[in-house]
Structure 1
Amino acid sequence: MDPDIRNASDTFEFDDGTTVNRLGFGAMRLTGEDIIGAPGDEAEATRVLQRAVEAGVDFVDTADSYGPGVSERLIGEAIDDDPDVLVASKAGLLRNREGDWTPHGDPEFLKNQVLCSLDRLGVDTIDLYQFHRPDPDTDFEASVHAFAEMKDEKQIERVGLSNVSVEQLETALDIVDVATVQNRYDVGNRDEEAVLRACEKRGIGFIPWGPMYAVDEDEAGPVLDSVAERRDATPHQVALAWLLGHSDVTLPIPGTSSVDHLESNLEAARLELTDEDVAALDGIDPR
């Protein structure tokens, strides 16, 4: 099957009229082990990115902490500021050699990080820049104000949030327009349902990170396997198709370091689940 999603994927429209295909690509895996350092095969990582764009993916998500800096650099080199691709990145997490992810929302740090992201991506303005995670040691509003200032200075086009509550989203909206929220969400873990519904109400894109984690879970895995067998699909494709059908504002970003896996994931845009399939998947008892 041709994995091109241009005529298969629904689209999401941002407030400024920009539209993207709802099935995107997450570039976290295009790094070394534990998301530290360069991938073992940079040429393959580049091929994955370029094949994604060739297949109609026009929404690519990354972060300054992936590598750190490695994923952004590879995207900058492979996509080369393609005007038809919306690239999203994030700032607000520190990394170390042990692979820890430490929140750091100090405004001056964030303002420094956007300069690094701009340089690695090779752009004058980042399409979407997201606050990666609230920092318990920094006032949340101060961190969001830093992103608002980046937007005012034309360093970023849109502001996004990640790993936030409904209350934090509402607080941020009093400061700046929020284009997207990225929280963990999948068919087996719907803890962030209230945040998703808040995004629906406001027309905010909801990026469910870990969209295929449920495939390996005891509760969801067998149901996904059963539906996949009926539809002649893979459980990963079923998990993605469920997310696309569950809400009009979801923007799943499955990631991989393999062209073959990429093309398999993209076929989820064409997978049509029946009412019986959806009922079975909806009936999974989320953890």
Structure 2
Amino acid sequence: MPVSRRAVLAASALAPLAPCLSWAAEPLIRRPIPSTGEMLPAIGIGTSRRYEVEPNPEAVAPLKAAVQSFVSLGGSVIDTAPSYGTAEDVLGLILTEPGLREKIFLASKVDTQGRDATLAEFERSLKRMKVANLDLVAVHNLIDVNENLAVLRDLKRDKRIRYVGVTVWRDGQLDALEAVMKRETLDFIQVNYAIDNRAAAERVLPLAADKGVAVMTNVPFGRDRLFKAVQGKELPPVAKDLGCTSWPQVFLKYVLGHPAVTCPIPGMAKVAYVEDNLAAARGTLPNPAQRKQMETFIDAV
């Protein structure tokens, strides 16, 4: 039976975080987009699964509250895709809030083949989210990557998008991702990376640093795999040194401790999760020795 984040937090005496805690006044860590120097808050929202609800006011209300809290606490990056069910439609309802779109770094993807189909998909994304342009569009899972990158570069030239990238989400795609990174000029990549899934750190993350490419990281909790591993376990001593009060903060601080990582994008469908996760982007990040301690602990559970 899957173990949820809720179960892990409920089992931890240290987990509950009140929104009035002093960390909320501390600014979020920000990381640069290497191609421009634009600074981004170091944790974003990923909309896969969590935002795939019926696009009606009742179902969207808690997600809207989560996004509003996210922005009020200094967040800006929201990542979605046409293939994430109703997520783009849901964002379309949320982003109608006056003044909200201007505070969001909005990223989506293309995942079809052929120039005409890709342009049509892009236009559908704009329509679904009720926006005029996007900050980042990436080629999802390297689908028709050469043609789709050409289309995205044309959209960037026409100022309909600001940044271009590519994405993967499993280790079996890392070799292909590395090949694309070596031959193409990219603003962003998105890759799977977590404390128990460190394959991207072997070659992809160092290559991104060398090439000046921003890195979004997906599934930082391993689709709840990590929560299952630590259920019922106390936080390790290094957590206190880093100011962590929950397991999600430990997992996110580990990811952010890699200097090539720009922004992990965990799913955050509740205000409490937003408050908890964003605390990981404040204060101290682990140094190499602490990261090794964290790896050793997780590898042993």
**TM-score scaled by length of structure 2:** 0.76
Q: Does 1:201 align with 2:206?
A: no
- Cα offsets for 1:84-105 (capped at 9, x unmatched): 421111121xxxxxxxxxxx33
1:100 matched residue in structure 2? none
CA offset at residue 247 of structure 1?
Answer: 1.8
Identify which of structures 1 and 2 has the higher relative contact order when contacts are C-alpha pairs closer than 8 Å and 6+ apart: 2
Q: Secondary structure at the match of 2:151?
A: helix
1:31-110 matches, cutoff 5 A = 31=51, 35=52, 37-38=54-55, 41-68=59-86, 69-78=88-97, 82-92=101-111, 104-110=112-118
1:37-186 matches, cutoff 5 A = 37-38=54-55, 41-68=59-86, 69-78=88-97, 82-92=101-111, 104-135=112-143, 139-163=144-168, 165=174, 167-168=176-177, 170-171=179-180, 174=183, 177-186=185-194
Q: 1:114 is aligned with what amino acid? A: F
Q: 1:199 is aligned with what amino acid? A: A
In 2, Cα distance between equivalents of 1:173 and 1:222: 43
In 2, Cα distance between equivalents of 1:248 and 1:85: 22
CA offset at residue 223 of structure 1?
Answer: 8.4
Identity within the alignment, %: 23
Give yes or no for contact 1:181–1:204 (8 Å, CA) kept in 2: yes
Q: Does 1:265 align with 2:277?
A: yes
- Cα offsets for 1:191-234 (capped at 9, x unmatched): 2221111111122111110112252354x778883247645511
Structure number having the greater helix percentage: 2
Q: Does 1:210 align with 2:229?
A: no
**Structure 1, unaligned stretches of length 5 or more?**
93-103
In 1, Cα distance between equivalents of 2:291 and 2:147: 42
Q: 1:17 is aligned with what amino acid? A: G
In 2, Cα distance between equivalents of 1:228 and 1:75: 38
Q: Secondary structure at the match of 1:158?
A: strand
Give yes or no for contact 1:58–1:85 (8 Å, CA) kept in 2: yes
**Structure 2, unaligned stretches of length 5 or more?**
1-20
**TM-score scaled by length of structure 1:** 0.79
Q: Secondary structure at the match of 2:249?
A: helix
CA offset at residue 42 of structure 1?
Answer: 1.1
Q: 2:62 is aligned with what amino acid? A: E
Q: Secondary structure at the match of 2:37?
A: coil
* Cα RMSD (Å): 3.0
Equivalent pairs, count: 267
Q: Secondary structure at the match of 1:64?
A: coil
1:282–1:9 Cα change, 3 Å: same
The 10-residue stretch of structure 1 (277-286 or 155-164) with the greater mean CA deviation from structure 2: 277-286
Give yes or no for contact 1:185–1:210 (8 Å, CA) kept in 2: yes
In 2, Cα distance between equivalents of 1:45 and 1:232: 25
